[in-house]
Structure 1
């Protein structure tokens, strides 16, 4: 069934009370160029559209939440070399919409399943469920929006069945996934009648030293990565993995450690399986076997490091605070018959174990740069334990290699999006929208309630490798 959505109202939602008018600095991590984007998600609720009451509830709760979270109602500004938040009280953007479709007729937006042997055909455009881009806004609303992009943009679409879908665009410069989920949970608490959010928000963006020059001004030396040389186009594939299949591999891992009985996490099992199966698919379809044998494969995932800061960040912090964990292995070993998923899990664990040391090195390097008279690049080798005495010879940890041999993985199941309740229950599931058609990536989410397990949403292979990838994943997780 095709989806036809009618947008009935688009407007700014400002804070319930007056809030400070000021400028706030962003952290070093907030200002990473690759975060200058809007993260996009679709949140599916079985209930909530009771004659439009759902949107009214969310509108009021948003307004109330913008009192403690007033920076989210501001705008990004660039002054000299500094990126800051102008707390101007303009508010967030909210779009009200409705459709005569039912969620059941659209399979609760669970299309694009990998269980099919053919490419998925989604009978709707997710853009219909997201707030339109700036140049698509109604002309009468354009004057309200101006040239400044709201940091939070939301569309609430009511379905004829009584269900509700929230489409969200959130500035990644302001919040990471944990921070965005914290804000949405606060909106949910206020919608359910709480006087204040259970966790008070904390700005606290000076937890990492900024490199400065002799005049005291920070210089942004980072540049946005160049994607022009990337020539592949990635296909979407979703893999549903039951908790029983995951537990079988966890048991194999524990047995492989003998009397030590080491444990592994669900994330480690899925990451290792995903990385290995994708590599097998690529090698199976590579015409030049010699080239395939010498490929170095890279897995990158981002770990929350709030607890690793000095001192640890306070509860309520909602900015960006993560660090890349980079794992590398030769393709012939990673995909080879003598290598098991258990072996790859051990490699992932070894990389994770280095995280505290690498974060400490990063913090020390920032402090050293801050005491020099010139602004220097923020670099060190996050891929190994090699010495970082020669700063110019080592890599920026936040600029991992891009290309078809590098795979990115994010874990969303523990961020808190699945606990956002506006008064009609938690969402059935969350749909992340592809951010790039040329950066191989996967997102780990939860299976729709009441199922237990992992939904692995991927944009990681081109069409030639899609079916082999599905084959290897289904063979591992039947």
Structure 2
């Protein structure tokens, strides 16, 4: 079971009155004069090699429409790299640019723009014209590389200077940009490679394929396996396009979401469930009785985090309905199956529901695992069985206490190597906008899971206590 999600189902949990934080032409100064500063060295527009890609139009499918009004997803990779500014500009940046161009030859829709379709009043498409490009910012930052790439609580606003923004469509005229990239040097310490992508263009699996292709080209390694860029492989016999258009898009804006500042005491922290603890959790669940599902790493990791989340917020949620929502890959389960290399969105929802008391009692993790495992089995049997109810389900999730997931341990983000070695840390700061958790492989050992979340300091401290106290029970 591949879990593929970006966690944008829940609309912004942070106060709407918070001002946007914008990256300006010369520098970003955060909360005070003494705060770290970002100096933009240069802004580039990087295109596929001239003449290598024909003009094309890629119609959005009903699975893309789910994400059309949900704004952007942000991820940043931290790589140790002890080089000077001059070396970075002269030697590293040219290779990043040329390899990005080479990768965009195969993933050219990322250089295109989302626009309304002239052929249909409710249609949307990604249009690519020869010369279209991806904004690529090169910058220098005076912040502390080791601090930002740590595990302990860090102000989530400190990540904003490392993340590029998608230009608003009003400045583009002919559509909404899909992808923006930024490489930020911490002199003599490391490089942060950040991206911002509009989710309607593709899901996490597709994006990581692109990112890995870019990195491999930069490192001079590997042969590119081109993605499958053909949205016609997804058929729509039940007219889900109309259902999703009316439920997700009609009357909504598809403008780019600008960065938003979080409250000053909102922090991002990482937690790892190691291989041994994963195994102990599996044993706990399997010893509880007959199972109708496979007790996988994802099942027990999500179950454990869900229980910790509920315990940390118990005074708020009382005995309300609570949800755990994540996405599963439809590619191998649609009929006929979709190629694994399909570029676009091909995910749908897995949802588990419980009452708070079920998860906070002595057997809470077992109960959570059973609910999550059974939801996955329903998905595997027919991922689109309840697709017509998705708009109403997403509305319920946005209004209820629900924990959603961004990323996946299946993506192997710590294997992405630009030739500088593996990343020290990978974060998804956009979870601050959604209340989701991020999930990825453990960078410390094979078989572990790394979880990231953004919470106000007081709630994060409660979560941390429940998380580590719970693991001690398995030692």
* 2:421 paired with 1:425: yes
Unaligned runs of 5+ in 2: 1-33, 253-261
1:204 maps to what in 2? 230
2:321 maps to what in 1? 296
1:120-142 Cα deviation digits (max 9, x unpaired) = 556x721211224537xxxxxx9
* In 1, Cα distance between equivalents of 2:57 and 2:243: 16
Per-residue deviation, 1:455? 2.4
Per-residue deviation, 1:99? 3.3
1:232-280 Cα deviation digits (max 9, x unpaired) = 987644323332222222222233347x898622221121111122222
* 2:92 paired with 1:54: yes
2:9 maps to what in 1? none
Residue 240 of structure 1 aligns to a residue whose secondary structure is strand
Structure 1 residues 155 and 203, CA gap change in structure 2 (3 angstroms): same
Structure 1 residues 157 and 167, CA gap change in structure 2 (3 angstroms): same
* In 2, Cα distance between equivalents of 1:34 and 1:132: 17
* 2:282 paired with 1:250: yes
Matches within 5 A, 1:379-398: 379-380=388-389, 396=392
1:96-125 Cα deviation digits (max 9, x unpaired) = 11235563xx33522543xxxxxx556x72
Residue 399 of structure 2 aligns to a residue whose secondary structure is coil
* In 2, Cα distance between equivalents of 1:275 and 1:219: 28
Per-residue deviation, 1:78? 1.0
* 2:412 paired with 1:446: no
Matches within 5 A, 1:137-176: 148-176=175-203
Structure 1 residues 210 and 263, CA gap change in structure 2 (3 angstroms): closer
Residue 39 of structure 1 aligns to a residue whose secondary structure is strand
* In 1, Cα distance between equivalents of 2:302 and 2:244: 36
Aligned equivalent of 1:223, options 227, 248, 253: 248
Contact 1:48–1:424 (CA<8 Å) still a contact in 2?
no
Per-residue deviation, 1:306? 0.7
Structure 1 residues 86 and 177, CA gap change in structure 2 (3 angstroms): same
Aligned equivalent of 1:182, options 209, 212, 215: 209
Structure 1 residues 466 and 160, CA gap change in structure 2 (3 angstroms): closer
1:350 maps to what in 2? 374
Residue 81 of structure 2 aligns to a residue whose secondary structure is coil
2:270 maps to what in 1? 238
* In 2, Cα distance between equivalents of 1:174 and 1:150: 10
Structure 1 residues 349 and 212, CA gap change in structure 2 (3 angstroms): closer
Contact 1:81–1:218 (CA<8 Å) still a contact in 2?
no
What CA RMSD, in Å, does the superposition of the two structures yield over aligned residues? 3.4
Contact 2:321–2:400 (CA<8 Å) still a contact in 1?
no
Counting matched residue pairs gives 417
* In 2, Cα distance between equivalents of 1:350 and 1:310: 22
* In 1, Cα distance between equivalents of 2:251 and 2:450: 31
1:467 maps to what in 2? 461
Contact 1:82–1:218 (CA<8 Å) still a contact in 2?
no
2:298 maps to what in 1? 267
Aligned equivalent of 1:110, options 125, 129, 150: 150
2:360 maps to what in 1? 335
Per-residue deviation, 1:75? 0.7
Structure 1 residues 462 and 425, CA gap change in structure 2 (3 angstroms): closer
Residue 247 of structure 2 aligns to a residue whose secondary structure is coil
Bigger Cα Rg: 1
* 2:393 paired with 1:359: no
Contact 1:26–1:83 (CA<8 Å) still a contact in 2?
yes
* In 1, Cα distance between equivalents of 2:116 and 2:305: 39
Contact 1:324–1:398 (CA<8 Å) still a contact in 2?
no
Matches within 5 A, 1:63-78: 63-78=101-116
1:81 maps to what in 2? 122
The one of the two structures with greater contact order (alpha-carbon pairs below 8 A, sep at least 6) is 2
* In 2, Cα distance between equivalents of 1:101 and 1:36: 30
Residue 272 of structure 2 aligns to a residue whose secondary structure is strand
* In 2, Cα distance between equivalents of 1:162 and 1:399: 44
Residue 418 of structure 1 aligns to a residue whose secondary structure is helix
1:440-467 Cα deviation digits (max 9, x unpaired) = 32111234446873321123x6666443
* In 2, Cα distance between equivalents of 1:125 and 1:312: 42
Per-residue deviation, 1:325? 0.7
* In 1, Cα distance between equivalents of 2:323 and 2:66: 21
Residue 16 of structure 1 aligns to a residue whose secondary structure is coil
Structure 1 residues 261 and 81, CA gap change in structure 2 (3 angstroms): closer
Aligned equivalent of 1:192, options 196, 209, 219: 219
Contact 2:272–2:448 (CA<8 Å) still a contact in 1?
yes
Contact 2:331–2:340 (CA<8 Å) still a contact in 1?
no
Structure 1 residues 88 and 157, CA gap change in structure 2 (3 angstroms): same
Structure 2 length-normalised TM: 0.77
Per-residue deviation, 1:333? 1.7
Contact 1:254–1:262 (CA<8 Å) still a contact in 2?
no
